[in-house]
Amino acid sequence: MCLGGLLLAGLVQCGKSSSDSPSSDATAGTETGGAAAMGGARASGGAGGAPVIGRAGSAVIGDAGDASVGVGQCSTPTSAGYKPQWMPPKAAPGACTQQQIEQEYSLCERDSLDYSPAKCRAFDEDAANGACLGCLFSANGDASSGAILLMPGNGWLPNYGGCEALLDGDSSPTSCGARTQAAVLCRDLACRKACVAPVSDAPWQSCLVAARVVACFDYFDQDTCAGLPRYARCNQASFHDNFMAMGDVFCGFGPPSVSNGEAGAGGAAP
């Protein structure tokens, strides 16, 4: 059985496409970058308190809920019905080698030059990779979270909030990581519902901006610590780099030890 069957009962299929990942999505002056940071297709986010988001392949799988919105377009994003659920990180240092993390990305990420549905399936079905994949991935809504969140539409979204929590050593519901995760998921889910596939970069990026500054403003307004320098490891310039960095923090060498002055509850350290 492929990874998707194991984790999401078919929601994510073998030969998956990465979806949301922090990286670069020019939003409201606080985020820089373009499309290269998203998973599966592109990502948005980056420094300045707004992690990057991605999509599945080159399209966002969504339901605009508005008959007037055509294919390739997005309606005005809304956070109606969104209820944050903190998914604390489930780190398992040593579960993956760097080679395993790289292979999962290169074989299963659709934008990778080495992408191969057949090889991806074989890699995911190899029992030797089970512990690693179980650490790398988790479904949105799970009780705890892995390095990459599996989103609707076969999307991969880097777990920025979980990464911050691991770097802080603070997995409480009031932590900086919890606030970041709430904001990022609000934005991603709002645009997945607002956009009708296939969607190109321009409308997707515009939707992310609108979601950040309007629909999900309150969540981003509360996430005042996400852009701190100590979280640089969680905000890389490309989806590949985010995938590798988070895979390492969650499942490889693990987070650095937390000492006095490096981190604190609720993101108190500089």
Whether the pLDDT of residue 3 is over 50: the answer is no
Please report, in angstroms and rounded to a whole number, the separation of the first and last CA atoms in the chain: 45
What is the distance between the alpha carbons of residues 102 and 164, in angstroms, rounded to a whole number?
22
Give the number of other Cβ atoms within 10 Å of residue 6's Cβ. 15
pLDDT band at 153 (very low <50, low <70, confident <90, very high): confident
Amino acid 173: pLDDT: 97
pLDDT band at 58 (very low <50, low <70, confident <90, very high): very low
What is the distance between the alpha carbons of residues 270 and 15, in angstroms, rounded to a whole number?
40
Mean pLDDT of the chain: 77
189-241 pLDDT tens trace: 999 999 988 888 899 999 999 999 999 999 999 998 888 999 999 999 999 99
> What's the burial of 206, exposed, middle or buried (CB within 10 Å: 0-12/13-18/19+)?
middle
245-265 pLDDT tens trace: 999 999 999 887 643 334 333
Angle between helices 176-194 and 201-210 (to 10 degrees): 130
66-100 pLDDT tens trace: 556 788 899 999 999 999 999 999 999 999 999 99
Kindly state the helix (H) or strand (E) to which residue 124 belongs, with its residue range: helix 117-125
What is the distance between the alpha carbons of residues 53 and 191, in angstroms, rounded to a whole number?
10
Q: Which of 10-19, 42-51, 173-182 has the lowest mean pLDDT?
A: 42-51
